[in-house]
């Protein structure tokens, strides 16, 4: 399959970086097995400086969970899921973490369910390929009269598919603004200063969307939670999933 070939090429390109990250990652695994979770966290984070992979984020999530840093664990699992959407193990551990925090995870809509079949970049590649095929079919039927019926069917199918694929890509772009509150009782402030009174306290693991990214004040972001609470959050307590 073409996608597999692309992934293979990407793997070959990334191979040197992966090889560099492996020793630190392995040390992290050893620390995890020895139940030294803080050391495991440090090592996994160190390995992430050279490359980022599903396994690293997944293991980091486990280490955070065991270290009872549940907000950070959710953030790590969410990041793992951005690389490998729909992974059953990552979803399982994420669900477990939400259970511990007694938070209801976000409901998955039909578009999101579909989108999570592949990663954002895979969907982008598929979209580009489909659009190109559609364009070629369009040109073909515009300038030749050979096999018009089949070409037309291909062209229209590609056009309909393109709309769906663009929708999925737009969904992923909007997802890029979501983040996780990783500190418990993080203050959602009225204005972007530490002196500002807290509007409410958010529990760790809360999902929130960054709004007005262009108006971000240094050290603070304007966020909106799923239950429409809007306010300023310190970047020390909040991190974007796809940062």
Question: Which residues here bind other proteins, judged by CB under 8 A?
Answer: 11, 14, 17-18, 21-22, 25, 29, 32-33, 35, 51-56, 58-59, 62-63, 65-66, 79, 82-84, 89, 92-93, 96, 100-102, 119-121, 124-125, 128, 135, 139, 143, 169, 172-173, 175-176, 241-243
The nearest distance, CB 135 to other proteins, in angstroms, is 6
Mapping DSSP onto H, E and C, the string for 169-206 reads HHHHHHHCCEEEECCCCEEEECCCCCCCCEEEEECCCC
Contact (CB, 8 A) for 94 and 76 = no
Complex with other proteins: residue 79 or 237, whichever CB lies closer? 79
Q: Name the minimum Å distance from CB 153 to other proteins.
A: 21
Residues 6+ apart with CB under 8 A from 91: 81
Nearer to other proteins, 65 or 232 (CB): 65
Tell me the closest approach of the beta carbon of residue 93 to other proteins, in angstroms. Answer: 5
What residues form DSSP beta bridges with 220?
234
Q: Which is nearer to other proteins, 101 or 161 (CB)?
A: 101
* CA gap 79, 76 in Å, rounded: 5
């Amino acid at each position: 399959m073409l996608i597999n070939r692309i992934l293979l090429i990407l793997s070959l390109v990334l191979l040197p970086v992966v090889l560099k990250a492996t020793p630190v990652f392995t040390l992290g695994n050893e620390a995890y097995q020895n139940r030294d979770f803080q050391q495991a966290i440090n090592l996994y984070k160190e390995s992430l400086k050279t490359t980022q992979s599903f396994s690293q984020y997944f293991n980091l999530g486990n280490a955070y969970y065991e270290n009872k840093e549940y907000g950070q664990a959710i953030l790590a699992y969410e990041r793992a899921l951005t690389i490998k959407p729909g992974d059953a193990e990552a979803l399982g551990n994420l669900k477990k973490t939400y259970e511990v925090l007694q938070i209801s995870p976000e409901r998955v809509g039909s578009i999101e369910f579909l989108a999570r079949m592949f990663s954002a970049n895979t969907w982008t590649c598929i979209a580009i390929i489909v659009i190109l095929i559609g364009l070629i079919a369009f040109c073909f039927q515009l300038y030749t009269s050979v096999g018009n019926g089949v070409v037309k069917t291909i062209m229209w199918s590609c056009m309909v598919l393109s709309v769906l694929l663009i929708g999925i890509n737009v969904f992923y772009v909007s997802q890029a603004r979501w983040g996780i509150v990783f500190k418990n009782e993080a203050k959602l402030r009225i204005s972007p200063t530490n002196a500002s009174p807290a509007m409410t306290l958010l529990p760790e693991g809360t999902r929130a969307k960054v709004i007005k990214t262009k108006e971000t004040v240094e050290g603070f972001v304007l966020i909106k939670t799923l239950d429409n609470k809007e306010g300023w959050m310190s970047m020390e307590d909040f991190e974007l999933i796809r940062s």
